Structure 1
Amino acid sequence: MTAKPTKTGSDVRFDGLVDLPAAPPLSSATKGLDDAEVERRAASDPDAGAIPADFWDGVDVVEPEGTVQITLRLPKRVVGHFKATGKGYQSRISAVLSSYVDAARKRGSR
């Protein structure tokens, strides 16, 4: 198990399923419910609206674009500017480059 510090605490990362802590025991309110009882409770819950059978029909599945790790040399002033904006500066550099590519495609440029 490893911990990654964040602003609000730390994200805990586990190296495998065997490292996960045991789940807390079920409360007496949910212990021993069969599927029919779970369905009955869900049907009577005013916050659990019914999902129509055709809800997902006609939906386009969009896969995340993903990223590629590269080494890129940039002028010191450019890196300094983005680093001065704080944590996440690499994502902001990526956003600037992405917006350039989008604009170039709209113009018909390569």
Structure 2
Amino acid sequence: MSKPRKLIHNTPEEEAAIARGIAADPGTFEPTNEQFAQMKRRSGRPKLANPKVAVTVHYDVDVVECFKASGEGWQTLGME
């Protein structure tokens, strides 16, 4: 069994050097707190105008066997 790795934190001097490097990079974008909060809210897919609804249906075994007998892709027949 391997030992869990220990996280080695940067020293304050290393953190300051990193911050200076970020500040010196003209391609760096640092979002404001408001921009960051807005980005967090926008995660995921956009909301659909007509979202689908999940439905559970129970069929007798013989009905499911009949569908399966129609061949591969029986779960999506008629959905194309």
Alignment TM-score, normalising by the size of structure 1 = 0.27
User: Which protein is bigger by CA-based radius of gyration?
Assistant: 2
More strand by share: 1
More helix by share: 2
Alignment TM-score, normalising by the size of structure 2 = 0.35
